[in-house]
Structure formats: structure tokens, C-alpha cells
Amino acid sequence: MTLRADLELMSRWIEPNAALLDLGCGDGVLLDTLTRDRGVVGFGVEIDPELVADCIERGLNVIHQDLDDGLADFGDAAFDYVVMTQALQAVPHPHRLLRDMVRVGREAIITFPNFGHWRTRWALAIGGRMPITETLPHPWYSTPNVRLCTVRDFEELCAIEHVSILERVMVDQRHRSNAMMQRLPNLLGEIAVYRVAAQ
């Protein structure tokens, strides 16, 4: 099985034998890979009970809960890394979750769809409608993505919340990257991948 490209990218950041918390871990593919390949000691959090059972069948540690309820059950600095892929834009209180993530993890790794990408800007500015793209395929009335933000928005939130940005990589829908995306991240990057920590 090949790892999804964004997961591949993140797994490069994660040191061997680290303690890792994966928020919205799905069927546990990232955790499973990191556990086997890197000796990571991992926990997952997942809201879908069928996916929780998938994780259990893989022998993973997984907690069935809604991320909206926060991470109160996890202690301060309990993990080396807290990872959340493509979920920040779907929770009702992203700022609280960000705060919780850098409390629970030494570092947090976060990915989200960049609403500042030229294609979404174009759809809104010229089309005059909420953008529907490969990254954001849902119509406005049924989208789970209720807290969309741009690269600049997110970095402003980090500043407000006293969160340091350690690294940023912009990628496209297929998780390919190039120098232009890094130079004009908010315009050319479709998906933002951040490594952050509490200041």
C-alpha cells in the first residue's frame, strides 16, 4: 500500500519512536504505517464508529470522540506530535482546537485547504458564487467545511494564539510541490501543510 502523498510528506517530519496523536485518524492508515515503519507510539481520535473499529482491527489505540469536545482527556505535552489532516476547517472552534493541539503536543502538524488559492478567488470574484473545486467539492449548504480560511488567515490566528510556525509547505491537490507555490503560497498553494508549536 502506498501512503497518501500528504501523509508521506508528514511522515518525513516525524522522528522515529515518537509519541503521536492523530486527530481525525480515519481508518488509521497513517498511524499504522508510522507504527510499523517508525516505531511510533500512536493514538488516534476518530468520530466515525465504523472507522474506530477499523483502527481497532489494525491493533491501534483509538479514542472514539468528537473533536468539538476538545482534548481535555489528554495531558499537557503528552505527545511529541499532534497531527490533524484536513479537519481544521470542519470543526466549529478551530482556534480552541489549535490551542489544545499545541498544549497536548510538543509540535502540531496541521493541513487544510487554502481558500486563498487563485481558483477559489476566481470562482468567487468572477463567478460570484461559492467555489466548488476538487479540494472543496461540496455546495455551500451541505459542506462540512464551515471554517474555511486562507494561508494569511491561519498565520494571523497563529500569531494571536502565540503559536510559532516552524515550517510551511504548500502543495497542490496531488500533493506535488514547486518553488512558485512556496513563493506565492496564498495564491498558488491548494493545500497548506504546517508544523507549529506553542511559543
Partner 1 sequence: MPTDTGVGLVQARQLHFDTPLELECDATLPAYDLSFETYGSLNAEASNAILICHALSGDHHAAGRHRPEDRKPGWWDNCIGPGRPIDTDRYFVVCSNNLGGCSGSTGPASTNPATGRPWGPDFPMVTVGDWVRSQARLADALGIERWHAVIGGSLGGMQALDWTIRFPRRVQRAAVIAAAPKLSAQNIAFNEIARHAIRSDPKFHDGRYLEQGDVPGVGLRLARMLGHITYLSDDGMRARFGRDRRADQARFNFDVEFEIESYLRYQGESFVNRFDANTYLLMTKALDYFDPAQDTGDDLAAALAPASARFLVVAFSSDWRFSPKRSREIVRALLARKKRVSFLEIESDYGHDAFLMPIPLYHRALAGFLETPA
Contact 32, 53 (CB under 8 A): no
49 near partner 1 (CB under 8 A): yes
- Closest to partner 1 by CB, 47 vs 157, is 47
Q: Between 77 and 116, how does the x/- string for binding to partner 1 read (CB under 8 A)?
A: -x--------------------------------------
73 near partner 1 (CB under 8 A): yes
- Closest to partner 1 by CB, 52 vs 108, is 52
Contact 101, 194 (CB under 8 A): no
**Residue 69: CA count within 13 A, CB half-sphere:** 11
Q: 108 burial class (0-12, 13-18, 19+ CB within 10 angstroms)?
A: buried
76 near partner 1 (CB under 8 A): no
Q: Which residue from 167, 28, 158 is spatially nearest to 85, judged by alpha carbons?
A: 28
Residue 175: which region, alpha, beta or left (left: phi > 0; alpha: psi -120 to 50)?
left
Options 54-62, 80-88, 154-162, 175-183: segment touching partner 1 (CB under 8 A): 54-62
* Interacting residues toward partner 1 by CB under 8 A: 19, 43, 49-50, 52-53, 55-65, 73-75, 78
